[in-house]
Structure formats: structure tokens, C-alpha cells
């Protein structure tokens, strides 16, 4: 708007205000005097006079509005919101479903048939590797072992004596060999029985927590049939996910990962700790493992997770909101920028854009925009190339 237009508008506004004040004051004094007289004819006449003045005033105000509209060119500008384009860090993620797993999650079965004599732990107990969890009735194996050990001791003594004689060339070779064979057989029998007896003691194969006890003390158990305990170690959990083979070149060991577990409201950052070397021919995917923080007790095996893998990163990218991009009749991606003429006005210019990847409602612009330019974020759908616009908001 020119300086002369501003001055004209200022004069018009002052005239309107002065006119309204004078009319209002005049009406107020005249009305009071007429009412004080109490003459009904004069009151009706005054009302008719004021109605006529009101009609004339309304007509003049309409004329002034028309003049203001003609002189105030700002009212013809389209209002737009803009934001300054900057070089920013852009990361693209591919989202995949995953499952929380742990390799140390097992059900312990007995290795010996018999009555469960003792259960030494409760659900929720932390146990160490090798700790005794339960005992099974040995069924007399201890007595048999004692007898075999005595027989083995005698066989050993006999063998040692026969060996000394044989070394002195006393006795026959067959006597020496028979004593040796008998001793070795007895020793093997002792070892087998000891191994059998050891199976009556149920021990923890690794350190962890007794999550569930399936069998009560006094029940008869059998190998491969009776479940005893569920033992879990949550210190080495991971998330397993199947990744399409098209990402083989971008997903590696150490790749940044964001994980969300909806069931617990848990989210954390991690990295890919292992990439599978086998592509499943049925679904054309390869497996990855993502490390899980060991100090998060809310995360449990078999929970479903959303895995976001960082497959692309640009350090200095031009990024704009996805809804800023329009399509022209040729199907090209376009956006409008503003070249400022004053602090609040400018001229719109259309740009043809080459877009890259998009993520989280943002799009990377490969060409068409430069850092520092003002891109129109709101109001661009109703403007044309070269149109003058008024900036309502700058982000």
C-alpha cells in the first residue's frame, strides 16, 4: 500500500468517527429535552426525524466501506503461512513387526522315572546355574551303587596285584588280562550307575527365574512326559524380525533401531546385533536380532514389538511437510515459495520438485528448493504463479 493511500484512509476514518460523535451527541441532547416536555406529538416527530437520519447514515457508511475496499489493496492479497527451508538431518525408517524372544526360556523335564520327593524352589525364585531344584526317588540306586563300588574296589586290588606279578614275569598273561578286563568292566558299571543316580537330582541348567512350577511334590514323574519347571533368564532378551530381502544392502550389524511395544507402552533405541545369512525362500525375508535393554522388567518374551530400522540417513537434507506438495496437470510435484516485497507481503513463485524418501509426514526434496527460501505451507491451493500474497504466519 502506498503512503498516499494510507493518508486517504486515515482521513476517511477520522471523518467517520467525528460524524458519529456529533450525531450521537446531538441526538442524545434533543431526545432528553423532548422527553422532558412530555408532549407525545413531539416525541413521535423526533423519532421519525432520527429514523430518517439513521437511513442517511447507513447509506454514507456503505459509501465509505466501498472507498476503503478500493484503496486498501491488502484486502485483495491471499493470506498464506510460510516456513523457512533449512538444511536438516533426515532419517528414513522401515517399520516391521517383531517378537520379543530369549534363548534362555525352557521347560525342564525329568530324566528319571519316580516319585518327586522334594521341590526346593518356589515360583519367582532366582536360581543359579547348577542349583538343585528338586529330587526324585532313586528307587534303591544308592544301595546298588555302594555294592558296585565295593566290587570295583576289589577288582581294582586284584588287578593291581596281578599287574605287579606280571611285571615280575610271575603268572600267566591270561590271568593279567582277565583281571584288567574285570576291573574296567566294574568301573564302567559304577560310572553308569552314578550317572543314573545323578539324574534323580534336578538342577538348573542356567541362572534365571523359576517362572512356573508344573508338578507338585509326591507326584510320579517320567522323562519326556512330566513338566517340572519353566526357567527363564531375562538378562539376554532380543527382538526377532523378518526383513524383506530388498533391504539386504542397507540393514547391517549396528544399524540404528527404534522399538515400540504397545502392550506395555515401552519404547527404546537400540541397534541390530545380528543379521541372518539365510533368505527364507517362502517369504523372501532374512532374520535380524535387535538387542533389548536388560534393565527393563516390563519387557517379557513373546510380546509383539514394532521395529523401526534406519535404512537411510542424509546429514544435510531439505525437508518439507508432505501436505505442502501439490500436483499439477502434468502429474509433477510442485510447491510455492514467496519472494518478499515487504515484511508481510510478497510474490508467489511455483517450483517443480524432485522428491526423495518420505517418513513421518515429511519429504526429502532433492531439487527445486534451496535453504533459506520461504515455502508456503498453508494457502497455496488457491494462488497462482506471480500472485501477490500476504504472509499471515511464518514458522
Q: Which residue in 394, 392, 378 sits closest to 326, CA to CA? A: 378
Q: Which residues pair with residue 99 across a beta bridge?
A: 240, 304
CATH 2.40.128.110 for domain 78-88+316-394, yes or no, is no
How distant, in Å, are the alpha carbons of 45, 110, 189 from that of 29? 15, 110, 131
CATH 2.60.40.180 for domain 108-231, yes or no, is no
How do the pLDDT tens digits run along the chain, 395 residues long? Answer: 444 444 555 555 555 555 554 445 444 456 888 787 778 777 888 888 888 888 888 888 878 876 765 666 555 678 889 999 999 999 999 999 999 998 888 999 999 999 999 899 999 999 999 999 999 998 888 888 888 888 888 888 888 888 888 888 877 888 888 888 988 888 998 898 888 888 989 999 999 999 999 998 889 999 988 999 999 988 888 999 999 999 999 999 999 999 999 998 989 999 999 999 999 999 999 999 999 987 777 888 899 999 999 999 999 899 999 999 999 888 999 999 999 888 888 999 999 999 999 998 999 999 999 999 999 998 888 888 888 888 887 77
* Alpha helices by DSSP H, the chain: 3-37, 40-71, 141-167, 173-198
Same fold, 78-88+316-394 and 97-102+232-314: no
Q: Are 377 and 321 in contact (CB under 8 A)?
A: yes
Q: Are 319 and 365 in contact (CB under 8 A)?
A: yes
Fold of 97-102+232-314: Elongation Factor Tu (Ef-tu); domain 3 (2.40.30)
Phi-psi region of 361 (alpha: psi -120 to 50; beta: other; left: phi over 0): left
The pTM (predicted TM-score) of the whole model is: 0.60
C-alpha cell at 383: 494462488
| Side-by-side strand order, sheet with 229-232 | 105-108, 229-232, 208-213, 126-127
Angle between helix axes 141-167 and 173-198 (nearest 10 degrees) is 160
Residue 302 CA to residue 245 CA, distance in Å, equals 24
The domain limits of the chain are 3-76, 78-88+316-394, 97-102+232-314, 108-231
Amino acid at each position: 500500500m502506498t503512503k498516499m493511500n494510507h493518508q486517504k484512509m486515515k482521513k476517511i476514518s477520522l471523518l467517520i468517527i467525528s460524524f458519529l460523535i456529533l450525531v450521537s451527541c446531538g441526538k442524545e441532547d434533543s431526545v432528553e429535552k423532548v422527553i422532558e416536555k412530555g408532549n407525545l406529538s413531539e416525541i413521535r416527530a423526533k423519532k421519525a426525524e432520527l429514523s430518517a437520519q439513521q437511513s442517511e447514515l447507513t447509506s454514507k457508511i456503505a459509501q465509505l466501506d466501498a472507498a476503503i475496499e478500493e484503496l486498501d489493496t491488502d484486502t485483495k492479497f491471499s493470506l498464506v503461512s510460510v516456513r523457512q527451508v533449512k538444511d536438516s538431518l533426515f532419517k528414513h525408517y522401515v517399520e516391521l513387526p517383531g517378537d520379543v524372544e530369549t534363548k534362555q526360556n525352557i521347560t525342564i523335564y525329568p530324566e528319571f522315572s519316580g516319585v518327586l520327593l522334594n521341590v526346593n524352589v518356589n515360583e519367582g525364585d532366582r536360581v543359579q546355574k547348577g542349583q538343585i531344584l528338586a529330587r526324585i526317588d532313586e528307587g534303591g540306586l544308592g544301595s546298588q551303587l555302594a555294592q558296585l563300588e565295593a566290587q570295583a574296589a576289589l577288582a581294582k586290588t586284584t588287578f593291581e596285584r596281578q599287574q605287579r606279578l606280571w611285571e615280575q614275569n610271575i603268572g600267566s598273561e591270561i590271568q593279567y588280562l582277565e583281571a584288567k578286563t574285570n576291573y574296567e568292566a566294574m568301573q564302567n558299571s559304577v560310572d553308569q550307575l552314578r550317572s543314573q543316580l545323578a539324574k534323580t537330582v534336578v538342577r538348573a541348567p542356567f541362572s534365571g527365574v523359576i517362572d512356573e512350577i508344573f508338578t507338585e511334590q509326591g507326584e510320579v514323574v517320567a522323562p519326556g512326559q512330566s513338566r517340572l519347571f519353566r526357567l527363564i533368564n531375562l538378562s539376554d532378551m532380543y527382538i526377532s524380525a523378518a526383513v524383506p530381502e530388498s533391504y539386504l544392502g542397507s540393514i547391517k550389524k549396528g544399524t540404528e533401531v527404534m522399538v515400540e511395544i504397545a502392550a506395555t507402552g515401552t519404547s527404546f533405541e537400540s541397534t541390530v546385533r545380528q543379521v541372518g545369512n539365510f533368505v527364507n525362500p517362502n517369504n523372501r525375508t532374512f532374520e535380524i536380532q535387535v538387542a533389548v535393554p536388560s534393565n527393563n522388567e516390563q519387557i517379557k518374551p513373546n510380546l509383539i514389538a514394532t521395529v523401526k530400522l534406519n535404512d537411510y540417513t542424509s546429514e544435510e537434507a531439505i525437508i518439507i511437510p508432505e501436505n505442502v506438495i501439490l500436483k499439477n496437470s502434468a502429474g509433477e510435484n510442485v510447491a510455492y515459495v514467496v519472494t518478499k516485497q515487504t515484511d508481510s507481503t510478497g510474490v508467489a513463485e511455483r517450483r517443480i520438485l524432485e522428491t526423495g524418501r518420505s517418513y513421518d509426514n515429511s519429504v526429502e526434496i532433492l531439487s527445486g528448493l534451496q535453504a533459506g527460501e520461504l515455502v508456503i505451507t498453508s494457502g497455496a491451493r488457491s494462488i497462482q504463479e506471480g500472485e501477490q500474497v500476504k504472509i499471515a504466519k511464518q514458522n
